[in-house]
């Protein structure tokens, strides 16, 4: 690296930290109704399904908005784009808290929140590309993944704890004020790019978005990783949604199921930090994608067959650690192999396929046995992961 034309700034960690905050906040807002579905349904006078729609809106909105938002990130810059998205998040979050027991007003505010989410998710590789040297980029994406998982975990743990003493609208107002504060931190701290790029490739010109989009699909390894990400994120979403129903036929309580969900998330946090860091240190991506996809299969099979709670915890830890590690390593891999496609474009396509993988949630329910067992669904998911591991073996390093 030529020190006269490139420079790595310590301020990159401040920019990354501010970006992690807004990603954490949007995940708290996304998941915050799930752990209190029954209470929320009573408050608003609606069915459980209509409460579930609060979360589903985020995935529904992502599909039409992902590509336009990626264009904004690559054309206008991540600071303006994420700044706008995080500001929308803060305003809509506060309005949802002020909606009180009015379901319609809360739903309208949630539309605003859902529209803000792609601005955060589709910039995961853009910030590292502008501020970090190549040897640290997968680590940086892993840290953003960590923030996202922590946000989900906080929303699942804090919401029922707070609901014991304050109303659900008040909880939503707390979360809205928190998200507004995170947005303010991002706007104050974030900078588009350092005065001197961290590496030669950080200063390279990128294709226009549509040209970059066309180029990405000409890269065989990119198309293959889209399949891998679709399967991995689909399995993660499906298991996270049905964890209680998966273990219920074996006599495990909702509290034990909640513990298993927490184990998946916490081990996922570790996987999202440790594996990308090793990948950066070794300067390799492909072996760690193969490793992550293949080694989560034993954990998935353990969830289907383990009869003791201890073995279920072990299976959940293996599944969460390896499955979650695939995304940050893979997203950085894709941003490297599709150059000169802009990072926001390649990132957005991966996130888009991940959100579309919500079909796995319905597929798992459709394959559910008459006795309530998810064994067939998990075996199908394991077979799809095995196929994905074989596809990962064909990726170009």
Given a cut of 60, is residue 207 above it in pLDDT?
no
**Which one, of 234, 219, 223, lies nearest residue 378 by Cα?**
234
Structure confidence at residue 254 as a pLDDT band (50, 70, 90) = low
- Strand, helix or coil for residue 222: helix
For residue 248, with 0-12 CB atoms within 10 Å meaning exposed, 13-18 middle and 19 or more buried, which class applies? middle
Q: Confidence class of residue 3 from pLDDT cuts 50, 70 and 90?
A: very low
Tracing tokens 């579905």 back to the chain, one arrives at 37
CB 193 within 8 A of CB 130: yes
Q: Give yes or no for a contact between 22 and 88, defined as CB atoms under 8 angstroms apart.
A: no
The pLDDT score that the predictor gives to residue 361 is 72
Say if residue 208's pLDDT is above 60. Answer: no
pLDDT in tens, 144-202: 988 998 898 888 778 888 988 999 999 999 999 999 999 999 999 999 999 888 877 65
pLDDT at 4: 54
Q: Which of 47-56, 200-209, 226-235, 293-302 has the lowest mean pLDDT?
A: 200-209
Instruction: Name residue, tokens 């891998």.
Output: 228
Residue 319 near residue 264, CB atoms below 8 Å: yes
> What pLDDT sits at residue 205?
47
Pull the structure tokens for residue 106: 């809360």
Domains of the chain: 12-191 (1.20.1250.20), 209-392 (1.20.1250.20)
Q: What is the pLDDT of residue 236?
A: 84
R_g over Cα of the chain: 20
The pLDDT, as a whole number, for residue 92 is 98
Cα 333 from Cα 222, distance rounded (Å): 9
**Residue 308: DSSP 8-state:** S
**Number of H-type helices and E-type strands within the chain:** 16, 0
pLDDT digits (tens, 9 = 90+) for 62-120: 889 988 998 899 889 999 999 999 999 999 999 999 999 999 999 999 999 999 999 99
CB-neighbour burial class of residue 232 (10 A; exposed 0-12, middle 13-18, buried 19+): buried
User: How far, in Å, are 10, 44, 97, 171, 180 from residue 167 at the CA level?
Assistant: 42, 12, 10, 6, 20
Alpha-helical segments (H) within 32-167: 37-44, 48-76, 78-98, 103-121, 126-131, 134-163
Residue 109 CA to residue 137 CA, distance in Å, equals 34
Q: With a threshold of 0.85, does the pTM exceed it?
A: no
Instruction: Read off φ and ψ for residue 53, nearest 5 degrees.
Output: -65, -25
User: Measuring CA to CA, how many Å separate 392 from each of 216, 272, 302, 386?
Assistant: 17, 18, 23, 10
The secondary structure element, H or E, covering residue 132 is none
Question: 3-state class of 62 per DSSP?
Answer: helix
**Residue-wise over 50-66: b if at least 16 C-beta within 10 A, else e?**
ebbbbbebbbebbeebb
């Amino acid at each position: 690296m030529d020190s006269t034309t490139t420079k790595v700034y310590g301020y990159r960690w401040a920019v990354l930290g501010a970006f992690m905050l807004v990603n954490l906040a949007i995940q708290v807002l996304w998941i915050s109704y799930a752990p209190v579905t029954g209470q929320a349904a009573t408050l608003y006078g609606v069915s459980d399904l209509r409460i579930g729609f609060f979360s589903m809106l985020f995935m529904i909105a992502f599909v039409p908005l992902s590509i336009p938002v990626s264009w904004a990130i690559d054309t206008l810059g991540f600071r303006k784009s994420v700044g706008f998205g995080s500001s929308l998040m803060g305003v809509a979050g506060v309005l949802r808290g002020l909606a009180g027991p009015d379901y319609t007003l809360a739903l309208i505010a949630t539309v605003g929140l859902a529209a803000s989410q792609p601005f955060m998710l589709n910039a995961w590789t853009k910030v590292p590309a502008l501020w970090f040297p190549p040897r640290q980029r997968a680590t940086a994406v892993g840290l953003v993944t960590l923030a996202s998982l922590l946000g989900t975990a906080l929303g699942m743990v804090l919401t029922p704890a707070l609901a014991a003493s304050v109303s659900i609208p008040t909880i939503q107002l707390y979360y809205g004020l928190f998200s507004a504060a995170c947005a303010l931190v991002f706007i104050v701290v974030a900078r588009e790019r350092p005065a001197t790029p961290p590496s030669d490739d950080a200063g390279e010109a990128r294709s226009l978005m549509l040209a970059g989009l066309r180029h990405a699909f000409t890269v065989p390894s990119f198309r293959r990783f889209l399949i891998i990400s679709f399967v991995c994120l689909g399995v993660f979403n499906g298991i996270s949604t049905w964890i209680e129903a998966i273990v219920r036929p074996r006599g495990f309580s909702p509290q034990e199921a909640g513990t298993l969900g927490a184990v998946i998330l916490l081990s996922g946090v570790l996987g999202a930090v440790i594996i990308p860091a090793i990948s950066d240190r070794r300067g390799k991506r492909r072996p760690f994608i193969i490793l992550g996809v293949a080694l989560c299969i034993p954990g998935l099979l353990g969830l289907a067959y383990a009869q003791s709670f201890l073995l279920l915890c072990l299976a959940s830890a293996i599944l969460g650690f390896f499955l979650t590690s695939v995304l940050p390593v893979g997203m950085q891999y894709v941003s490297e192999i599709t150059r000169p496609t802009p990072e926001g474009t390649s990132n957005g396509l991966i996130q888009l396929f991940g959100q579309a993988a919500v079909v796995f949630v319905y597929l798992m329910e459709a394959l559910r046995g008459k006795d309530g067992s998810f064994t067939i669904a998990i075996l199908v998911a394991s077979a799809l992961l095995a196929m994905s591991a074989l596809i990962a073996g064909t990726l170009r390093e």
